Amino acid sequence: MNIIKFKIGSERGLSIIETLLALFMTGLVVASVFGVYINQHKTWMIQEDITDVQQNARAVIDELTRQVRMAGFGLPLGLAGIEAFNTNPDTIVIIYSENGCNAPIEHDMPLPSAELRCDGHDVSCFHDNQWAYIFDPDSGGGEFFLISLVQVAAAHIQHNTMSLSRVYNKGSIILSLQRAKYYIDYTDTLHPNLMMELPGQPAEVYAENIEDLQFQYTMKNATTLDVPTLVPDIREVLISLTARTANPDPDFQSDPYRRRTFTSKVNLRNYDI
């Protein structure tokens, strides 16, 4: 009986102080674990943002490099392949022939709404609902218009009656061109975007979180200009693009975004003659 009493007497409970001390120690351990987790998660999120911004910027500048390199390809003499605007961030319009598709018209247009008659020429490379360009070699001017119908057998091209602003004479050339305008849109101040605008279409987001875009043009006389005086004299285009993270970093109070800038030099092979 004494043995039983001895065992029961030895099984004492915890005091309040011991309980509070245990809770305190447990809280310290949990707080340390959560602190490590939060810091690691924050670091991971920052690295993800940095990786995204670097990949995004590299992809964009690679594509812009390819587009600028194509500027002027397949264009008739007198039609510029680049339109430059020193708007800070800069704006650029790049024009080139997509597939070499072209056909001259063989009859003067009596009215701006008249069909384009390319008698004797192959117009099968054009298609309905395509934006094309008509160029007048005599004046050096032209405009984009929407093809409504291609009559391959007759070699006639019809267009929306409001597409052309004037008549074009025999010898004017219809071309299948790519014309892309690139600029920065700050409508959403938290997320500036690089926009691309094609003929007859609303501008669309080309790349998100692109903060700055700059172009400099090296001419054949070795001078560097923000806006080229003569496009055929351009020999090199320097592209500078700055992208920023999508999410702000709370550790940076005054300017919470991390940025990466990439540059590319492009030799204009279609003008380097």
Burial of 186 per CB tally in 10 Å (0-12, 13-18, 19+): exposed
Cα 253 to Cα 35, 52, 247: the distances in Å are 21, 22, 13
Two tokens, residue 67 = 């587009």
Cα–Cα distance between 61 and 159 in angstroms, integer?
36
179 SS3 class: strand
Between vectors from CA 56 to CA 267 and to CA 90, what angle results, nearest 5°?
55
Q: Which alpha helices (DSSP H) does the chain contain, by range?
A: 2-10, 16-70
Regions of the chain where pLDDT drops below 70: 1-14, 34-47, 272-273
**Contacts (Cβ under 8 Å, ≥6 apart) of 144:** 131, 132, 133, 177, 179, 199, 200
Q: What is the pLDDT of residues 172-220, one digit of tens each?
A: 999 999 999 999 999 988 889 999 999 988 999 999 999 999 999 999 9
Two tokens, residue 44 = 């991971």
Burial of 221 per CB tally in 10 Å (0-12, 13-18, 19+): exposed
- pTM, full prediction: 0.78
* pLDDT score at 6: 47
